[in-house]
Chain A
Amino acid sequence: DVKVTQSSRYLVKRTGEKVFLECVQDMDHENMFWYRQDPGLGLRLIYFSYDVKMKEKGDIPEGYSVSREKKERFSLILESASTNQTSMYLCASSPGTLASTDTQYFGPGTRLTVL
């Protein structure tokens, strides 16, 4: 079974702090994604990556950056956390553009609270 793990289930940070959210997948997937989920808004794509060192902006990239130095790891960085970034953050991976399916496999999520 594909396993996507996220470094923390719950995280509390203060305004202005730099925050790192780590995601690791163990199935050699090409694509990795970061979403945030808020009540009434569903899941919104922040960034995605289709190869090592490659990244593309999603729908709401402002205030975030990402890093993919190794294929299995995709990090989401909040350079200076703000209260409006309090949310559930979900990481996902999928096989790749040449795969027969683009099924995305999700991690358990990190609930981030910014005080």
Chain B
Amino acid sequence: LAKTTQPISMDSYEGQEVNITCSHNNIATNDYITWYQQFPSQGPRFIIQGYKTKVTNEVASLFIPADRKSSTLSLPRVSLSDTAVYYCLVGDKGNQGGKLIFGQGTELSVKP
């Protein structure tokens, strides 16, 4: 299973765009890239998932280059409520019951 590396923490201000990059050099052909968000005292919540190129939903965008060895989660115009820990995961949807590995995550702090 591919290991991921992401920054431990990031700071931002309200209204800015935030980009969090995740490295996954050993990603396998069948692996998908998934991002979760976790607020204090809550379980993680799914944000976005992709395989290649770009995926966008109402919450975020996910950019995946052609070699898929990294990915970037983009949060447009963050607000104070976006302060959370963001986890990047890679995993194979077909095998091992969808087993995913969570790294340490990136603690995003949004300031007024």
Contact = CB atoms under 8 A, between A and B. Distances in A.
Given A43-B44, A43-B87, A56 B104 contact: no
Interface in A13-66: 30-31, 33, 35, 40-45, 48-50, 56, 58-59
Contacts, number: 73
Q: Which of the listed residues A103, A107, A109 has the most CB atoms from chain B within 10 Å of its own CB?
A: A103
Given A41-B104, A42-B105, A105 B99 contact: no
A102 B98 contact: yes
Q: Which label, helix, strand, loop or mixed, suits the secondary structure of the B interface?
A: loop
Q: Which of the listed residues B42, B94, B97 has the most CB atoms from chain A within 10 Å of its own CB?
A: B97
A106 interface: yes
Contacts of A108: 41-43
Q: Which 9 A-B pairs have the closest CB atoms?
A: A106-B43, A50-B97, A102-B98, A43-B102, A42-B104, A102-B93, A103-B46, A31-B97, A94-B98
